[in-house]
Structure 1
Amino acid sequence: MSTYQESWLLGPPIHQLLHPHLPLPPPPPPHAALVFIHGFIEHIARYDHVFSAFAARGITVFAYDQRGFGRTALDEGGRSKGSAYAKTSWREQLEDVEWAVGRVRRGEVPGCEGVPVFLYGHSMGGGLCLAFPTRTTRPPSPDTLSSISGIIATSPLLTATKPASKAVRWIGGKASVLAPSLTIPAEVAAEVLSHDPEVIKNNIDDPLIKRVGSLRGLSDMLDGGEKLLKEDHARWPKALPLLLIHGSDDQGTSCESTEEFYKKVTADDKTFSCYPGGYHELHNEPDGVKEKLIEECISWVEAKVKAKAAAGITITATPSSKL
């Protein structure tokens, strides 16, 4: 039996159609909600086992295929006009994050009325989650930001493990202004994602994964991560809890950069967890690693919910203008 509901929703004012998964709240009613942001050249159906584990512990997950990826880009019957694979930008992606958090905060997601809201992102999605409370261009509304009870980032893209040369980055940045939607190969080898052969095979055979990126999407993603590490970390709200998790053998995104961000960030409540030998997708690693990762994330959320309850903090779904 499916653990989630699927539907097409009209997203932010740019009228992008997003494809969310809404896990069915198990009894008793959920005590927390999680907005999940997936990574580069992937989609949310790859996280069904993660979402199910959260739902089984009373945490409802709201997730969607980001613009430019998954069914949001490739579903001929549901995608919006003008949508194409990899066609995206950080501005639009961050607007979508605010749209998603706003839906949950306003009680528009079934079962999430009045519960604490958490934000969780992986890889590219992890970078977006870290940028969400710190960006200077169109920052989130105070109501939206104050409604987030904590942020989780696994294997966040701050810098690549093997960065492109400065010359290539400079040329790519200039080209992204002239032809933002032009796509180029983005060879993310499936073999470096997980030690599990089945995960590797499924990734290679997945019809919703295309190994290309747009010039604007790639430029924004790489520049944004570096800016987070260099300066934007200083704007982190001190009262916003943060959980950072990374595998030491990640060949896609840099574990060292995540640890550096952890040391620099100004959060009063922050945790950095390194998984020795772990590859990029810790949630897909074998030999008990994925179970450990999922349990760490769920337990962290549960601890923050209990702390709020002990402090007598109540959360209410407040109406606000739609994003």
Structure 2
Amino acid sequence: MEHISRYDHVFSRYAEAGIEVFAFDQRGFGETAARTKTQGQTSWPAGLKDADFFVTREAAADRCNGRKLSSPTYFHPSCRLRTHLEDRYVVLFLLELAYRREMCIAKLRKTERPARLGGGLAFAYTTRSPPLQGLALITGGLVLSSPLIAQSPGVATAGPLIRLGSFVGAILPKLTVHVGVSAKDICRDPVIQERYSHDPLCAPIGTFKGVGDMILGGQQLLSYDYKQYSSSLPLLAVHGTGDKVTWHDATQKLVEKTSADDKTFKDFEGYYHEMHNEPGDDKIKEMDFIIQWVTSHL
């Protein structure tokens, strides 16, 4: 439904603040799907496995003196990577900037000079039992932006249809379904809306399996999985009150229910789903809020 290249301006601003970003299109989306002709073919187990692969891989790369990566680079057959990395890092953060299937790993160096899995998947990564291998390596914190914990009430799919779709997906995991997000609902910038409407990598295609996992997975996070969140892992969640895609109130409730000792929920009044694409200085305010939180958690 979208792709990581749409975040280049975000990553550039992060880089100016000394935050190095490793990001990829998850399987079934963006360049990953385009290269393998697997649009929408994904699941939560597959997404979590990929996320764990990259978290552990990036942590291992941190321990390799002098190692540098080029952009773009390919390390895994299911993912297209975009890297902005240097050679040594010490603090890892897991970020998810919108729910539509990108994931980022942000890194900061402790030096004398200034030196981001769809939204619910990142939170799911931190709440598996037993814990995933890479979880212990994420010491900086978790950042969620407009996560899919629940659909916005105006577009929410009826419960019986979700369960039916999930049943169909279990039998026919590659069966596709139209799941497009209206361009007018992603942000308030008409230029971005127009680009999104004509972007071939933002194809409105998913699978019953992938969509069912996302929606039901979000419900599970809010009803039970939040109990598995570590009290010692800092948590930041940001959400626009005008989001017509994912529900602001569900994100706020999730943060309230977690037992994290260090947790912050920040809402942005009137902002739509893609807060990093809002008009003018509005997007800068959201980006800088995340940057300030990340850099304060070294």
Give the TM-score range, shorter chain.
Answer: 0.7 to 0.9
**Deviation of 1:62 (Å):** 0.2
Q: Is the 8 A contact 2:180 2:203 kept in 1?
A: no
Identify the residue that residue 22 of structure 2 maps to in structure 1: 62
Q: Which amino acid aligns with 2:266?
A: S
Q: Note the aligned Cα RMSD (angstroms).
A: 1.3
Unmatched 5+ stretches in structure 2: 63-68, 70-84, 100-117
CA–CA separation in structure 1 for the residues paired with 2:135 and 2:167: 33
Select 1:227's aligned residue among 196, 220, 224. Answer: 220
Identify the residue that residue 204 of structure 1 maps to in structure 2: 197
Q: Which amino acid aligns with 1:119?
A: L
Select 2:149's aligned residue among 150, 153, 158. Answer: 158
Select 2:91's aligned residue among 116, 136, 149. Answer: 116
**Deviation of 1:287 (Å):** 3.1
Select 1:102's aligned residue among 44, 56, 74. Answer: 56
Q: Which amino acid aligns with 1:50?
A: V
Identify the residue that residue 245 of structure 2 maps to in structure 1: 252
How many pairs were matched up?
256
Identify the residue that residue 85 of structure 1 maps to in structure 2: 39
Q: Deviations over 1:236-279 (max 9, x none)?
A: 00000000000001000000000100110110000000001010
CA–CA separation in structure 2 for the residues paired with 1:73 and 1:88: 10
Q: Deviations over 1:32-55 (max 9, x none)?
A: xxxxxxxxx111000000000111
Identify the residue that residue 131 of structure 2 maps to in structure 1: 139
Secondary structure at the aligned position of 2:297 is classed as helix
Secondary structure at the aligned position of 1:297 is classed as helix
**Deviation of 1:187 (Å):** 2.7
**Deviation of 1:114 (Å):** 3.5
Q: Is the 8 A contact 1:238 1:268 kept in 2?
A: yes
State the TM-score, normalizing by the size of structure 2: 0.83
**Deviation of 1:174 (Å):** 1.0
- Give me the identity figure in percent: 38
State the TM-score, normalizing by the size of structure 1: 0.77
Q: Is the 8 A contact 1:104 1:112 kept in 2?
A: no
Unmatched 5+ stretches in structure 1: 1-40, 306-323
CA–CA separation in structure 2 for the residues paired with 1:131 and 1:123: 14
Moved over 3 A (4+): none
